[in-house]
Amino acid sequence: MTPLANSLSCLIALGCASFLWRKGSSPYRNGAFLAGFLVLFGVFCYFGGDINDPTLEHYPFRMLALCLCLSTTSLPLYRRRYLVLAQSLWCWIELFGGIALYYRGIDIAWTRIAALLCMTLCSTFLSKISKEMEFCLMVFWLAVWVFF
Amino acid sequence: MFRYLMILGLTLFLPGLYALGYSVYQGPSAWMVDSQTFWGTPISLFVFWIGLAHAGTLLSAIFLALDIKLDRRTALIAELSTLVSLVFAGIFPLMHLGVIDNFYMVAPFLDARGNFANVRSPLVWDFCCIAVYALLSLLFFGVHLKSREIPALDKYRKPLAWLLFPLVLWVHTIVSLDFAATFVPQWRGAFFPVYFIAGAILSGLALVNLLICAEGYRVRLLERLQLICTWILCAIWIWDLILKGYFCTSAFIFAGVLPQLRMVSVIREHRLGRIFFSVSILVGLFLERYYLVSPTAASATFGRIDLGLVAFSVGGFMLLFFGIRRYLNRNMEGAGSYFGEVDGTDLAEAEQEEFEKENFTGVRGIQKLRKGFYMQPWSSEEYRILRFPLLVGFAAAVLFSVWVWSQSVFANVDLSIANVIPLLYPIVAVVTAFTLCVRAYFVEKSFDMTRREKTLCVVLLVLAAACLGTFFAGGSSEKSAKVLDSQPIGVDTPVSQNHARLVWNARCATCHGTDGRFNEKFVREFYPVPQKLDLQRLDSLGADSLVKVILNGRNNMNAYAGRLTPEEALGLVNYMRTLAEMLSENAAPESVKEGEK
Amino acid sequence: MGMDRREFIKSCSLVAVMGLLFGCRKSAVLGDIASQLSVPELKRFEDEVKLAMSQAKKSLDLVKVPTPGALKIPGASTLNRFGMAIDLDACDGCGKCILACNLENNVPLVPEEDAARGRFMHWVDMRGGAPFMCAHCGNAPCERVCPTGAANHTPDGLSAMMYKRCTGSRFCGANCPVQARKFNFNDAQKLGLARQFNREVPLRDKGVMEKCSLCLHRLQNDRLEFKTSLTVGTAAEEWRGRGVKTACAEACPKNAIVFGNWLDDKSPLVQLTKNRVLYAPCELAALDPSVVFMRGRR
């Protein structure tokens, strides 16, 4: 996937994140959104990249994880917990997707995993999450997505 | 009710048992085998049952960890179904092996011959994860049952739940890596971990919904989750379709399309309708696994034995699950308070309504916000309980990795950290849980076990030790001795001593050692230890029969006829004698010296 | 932990019963009867080869590969890496190599229903009109997933099988991109389908995987003869496996199969492939195969 498409994908994830966990929204709505986003990301990958590229196999899921991470900042309750969980999910997808690809001869993106792991650990120490901190977190995730 | 379900289970189980027996006797050709992967129905069933085994821990542990309320009855049913599913999930990978006796070689610890399993293989990870998962699920269920009598135990449930939360996902991730790490084009998928977890969650939910239908009540939250999960899974299937250009239509219809009928309230409110959704999802997911495991198999070859294996697991599950339920109902005091037989559906409904009101309008959240609900980082109670055991667990995992790297087996193998990571969490979990148990036993003063429980503990411990011992000792690779032919060899001109020494060093020394003692390390790795070649034994056998052993082989000794001439063999026998004499001479002065002292 | 004697004995005896049950799972009676059954005639082996050739796959996708170099695994020899090259210009697909391999390595027959499904035990297949066998990949996917380490790599570049260590999980077979591995579905000795033509190669038990070993026993034999012929004390020349030929290479009437040492300049393999274009099956090209195809001149 080209760097341009890659950065476009994180913008899409950012856009999608704003639809999740709106106040008073039913689980149906959120579930449908999640499923819909996944299809959307899949279609985006199909048109944005070469479908035979093995690293693309878990690309939509990574986008979904990024989207979940970004969306946790707007949660009303248990923000720290879900922040950590969403980042763990992203880490999980990267790590095990990486291991699967490693067995087929593709190197694991260790820097990305290490950065995420560090951030997951650090964010467990967060106390009240301020607006500035939210912004910093989002910038960090987007940086990890685009540069690592 | 339970009795009829048990009878139904039994009628499925008995013919299934025949199929299982036949499969074990006949080996893998008994069932439908895919021409490409050599696997087939047992592995489909394994993936299916391990998915169902996620119901309990998923619902009970994850909901507990995330503070989502689930009534005790549903949680216990889910946990019990996990344990019973695990029994069947464990049977299938065992019975599908070609050489079932050798299964212990998959366990990653040293045996007496210095062998070590190949930790790079996803199967080794599988073995560890499932064993640890079964152990911890049993512990979780036990603590849940006991915590009614001993309230002190209740505070251990949440730490255990946090420990099980990653483990349950880990198990299915590893199962997915069995497929995703291969070169089979149909299994191309770095997204398989998420895909399998989603599938497992859906099948687990469907099973629990089915079981609570059998109990005669319903939990709307779980039904909702089930519906939402079908959407997510459909989205994943669409990605699979985009990626590979084909997917399993029947699974899509059964597990994707039909459950959408839940949106029709008439069907949803009827019990048969709810049973239909769950069964349809389970059938769909089984078809999906079947298709996944055997992508190139012709469905025409799905025969009696395959059906029998399916019947075995389904019937066995019903028999075991409802059998335990009946047993608990009868033999446990206050079973009603565990499983809520008495106050039936009303309680669940009321609880449910309250729960829905709280959760989905956000009232509970706002209340908590108002109260100033906030917790300092790293200060929760479950963390304080888990802190020390977790540390021990991580230390054990690090030690294990270091130990693995030092194994001689891996000197010739490219071992990367990615090969060992999947093994680490199960080790962390099992050591942590063990430390937690020890802590609970010593810290909680009110902890008291009945006599039966103590016996159970001792039996389990002894069994575990026996298993470890058997694994360590390893099976015997000895075969029945071949009959020696009785023809005389007719050779009496051995080759020169020098020639014989060269032959000995080249051919025999690998096992028997250059000095006639064993090359212990090599021999133990590959074969049982051979006979000692001391003077007495050589004399008792005689040169003729020794030459025959060399030429024709015996037990684990290979036949060397064709590679060695009979003259060389005779020369070797003579050389063996010289070696034995040298050894006994070396040994003799020592004994004399001891005598002098 | 208070526990009276009765209970202790009870639990101990339970364990003992379990141990007993575990101990009687196997009896040695069957094996003895089996060894006295008649062995199949040579004719049946010849017929089976013909049958297998008539069912052979017609196509084989090949891509160009560079000449194999030294192995990249730790502990690998820098002197030897054995392999083969199959000359597609010379080969006419007569199938003599298959029979020669079967007789050399005691490859058993299969029952009729397996043959009908195309499930033969032959280590050498016919694909695209040329012999096709395990490529002994330097980066072998089968070895990576073998749970017990029964499939492993020798320092000389052979992908070897340790039959006694195999537990029959068939994971290696699933992970071989070209399905070069064969699984012993049947107890060939009991069914009277196996015959030990060559005593240097053991008969395989039911439930283990097997595949082309590049005639490991011949190489091993030569190595040991070489060691024997060395006189002690002189600076030893290293063994390069010169003069060894696999059974299939020996049997080929057109000399289309060339066996040798990729790292030895005097080896016929290196000399004959010098000016040729090398190919490998497209699934294996990235896995550093030792057995390759050659076609056309460079």
Nearest to C167 among B27, B102, B411 (CB): B102
When divided into structural domains, chain B yields a total of 4
Cα-Cα-Cα-Cα dihedral sign, residues B232, B234, B237, B242: negative
**Predicted local distance difference test score (pLDDT) of residue B20:** 92
**Spacing of C-alpha C183 from chain mean position:** 11
Structural domain for B382, as ranges: 32-302+375-473
Q: Are residues C157 and C81 in contact, defined by beta-carbon separation less than 8 angstroms?
A: yes
pLDDT tens-digit map of C204-254 = 888 899 999 999 989 988 887 787 776 544 545 788 888 899 999 999 999
**Predicted local distance difference test score (pLDDT) of residue B529:** 58
Residue B446: what residue type? Answer: S
Question: Which conformational region is residue B326 in: left (phi greater than 0), alpha (psi within -120 to 50 degrees), or beta?
Answer: alpha
Does residue B488 form part of some domain?
Answer: no
- Read off the pLDDT of each residue in A55-74 and give the average, rounded to a whole number: 92
Tell me: do B36 and B85 sit in the same domain: yes
ipTM of the complex: 0.94
Chains that touch C (3 or more CB pairs under 8 A): A, B
Q: What is the DSSP string of B423-466?
A: HHHHHHHHHHHHHHHHHHHHH-TT----HHHHHHHHHHHHHHHH
Q: C28 falls in which pLDDT band (50, 70, 90)?
A: very low
Cβ of B184 within 8 Å of Cβ of C174? The answer is yes
**Predicted local distance difference test score (pLDDT) of residue B210:** 92
pLDDT tens-digit map of C97-132 = 999 999 999 999 999 888 888 889 999 999 888 999
Torsion of CA B139, B145, B151, B153, to 10 degrees: 0
Q: Using the 8-state DSSP alphabet, how is residue B527 labeled? A: S
> B453: which residues sit within 8 A by CB, 6+ positions away?
none
Q: Are residues C270 and C264 in contact, defined by beta-carbon separation less than 8 angstroms?
A: yes
The two tokens of residue B40 are: 């087939």
Q: Are residues B146 and B160 in contact, defined by beta-carbon separation less than 8 angstroms?
A: no
pLDDT tens-digit map of C166-177 = 899 999 999 999
Cβ of B180 within 8 Å of Cβ of A31? The answer is no
Residue with more model confidence, A45 or B447: A45
Cβ of A103 within 8 Å of Cβ of C286? The answer is no
pLDDT tens-digit map of B352-410 = 555 554 444 444 444 444 444 556 667 777 788 888 899 999 999 999 999 888 887 77
Architecture of domain C35-230+238-297: 2-Layer Sandwich (3.30)
Q: Residue B277's domain is classified under what CATH number?
A: 1.20.1630.10
Cβ of B183 within 8 Å of Cβ of C177? The answer is yes
Q: Are residues B16 and B311 in contact, defined by beta-carbon separation less than 8 angstroms?
A: yes
Percentage of chain A beyond pLDDT 70 is 100
**Predicted local distance difference test score (pLDDT) of residue B237:** 93
Residue with more model confidence, C32 or B153: B153
Distance of alpha carbon C243 from alpha carbon C222, whole angstroms: 9
In this prediction, the residues of chain B whose per-residue pLDDT falls under 50 are: 340-348, 350-351, 357-372, 477-486, 591-597
Tell me: do B353 and B323 sit in the same domain: no
**Predicted local distance difference test score (pLDDT) of residue B110:** 73
Distance of alpha carbon B161 from alpha carbon B562, whole angstroms: 65
* Alpha carbons within 13 A on the beta-carbon side of B401: 18
Percentage of chain C beyond pLDDT 70 is 85
- Nearest-CA neighbor of B174 among B33, B50, B80, B34? B50
Distance of alpha carbon C171 from alpha carbon C147, whole angstroms: 8
**Predicted local distance difference test score (pLDDT) of residue B484:** 45
- Burial of residue C234, with CB atoms counted within 10 A of its CB: 0-12 exposed, 13-18 middle, 19 or more buried: exposed
Tell me: do B285 and B384 sit in the same domain: yes
**Predicted local distance difference test score (pLDDT) of residue C212:** 93
pLDDT tens-digit map of C180-202 = 999 999 888 888 888 888 878 88
Chains that touch B (3 or more CB pairs under 8 A): A, C
Does residue B298 form part of some domain?
Answer: yes
Does residue B326 form part of some domain?
Answer: yes
The two tokens of residue B162 are: 């946090």
**Predicted local distance difference test score (pLDDT) of residue B69:** 75
Chain B partners within 8 Å of A28 (Cβ): 224, 227-228
- Read off the pLDDT of each residue in C1-22 and give the average, rounded to a whole number: 58
- Nearest-CA neighbor of B387 among B426, B430, B423, B436? B436
Residues of B near A (Cβ–Cβ under 8 Å) read 66-67, 169, 173, 176-177, 180-183, 188-194, 224-225, 227-229, 231-232, 234-236, 238-239, 242-243, 360-362, 365, 368-369, 374, 376-378, 416, 418, 421-422
**Predicted local distance difference test score (pLDDT) of residue C8:** 59
Q: C249-279: b or e for each residue (b if 16 or more CB lie within 10 Å)? A: bbbbeeebbbbbbbbbeebbbbeebeebebb
**Predicted local distance difference test score (pLDDT) of residue B300:** 59
Chain B partners within 8 Å of C74 (Cβ): 411-414
**Predicted local distance difference test score (pLDDT) of residue C192:** 86
Chains that touch A (3 or more CB pairs under 8 A): B, C
Tell me: do B190 and B244 sit in the same domain: yes
> C230: which residues sit within 8 A by CB, 6+ positions away?
B502, C236, C237
**Predicted local distance difference test score (pLDDT) of residue A94:** 94
Residues in chain A: 148
Residue B526 in contact with partner chain C when CB distance is under 8 A: yes
Tell me: do B507 and B381 sit in the same domain: no
Is the pLDDT reported for residue A27 higher than 90? no
Tell me: do B159 and B134 sit in the same domain: yes
Calculate the alpha carbon distances from B247 to B284, B301, C32 in Å: 13, 20, 50
Mutation pick from B125, B458, B467, B503 vs chain C, by most beta carbons of C within 10 Å, is: B458
Does residue B559 form part of some domain?
Answer: yes
Q: Which of helix, strand or coil describes residue B414?
A: coil
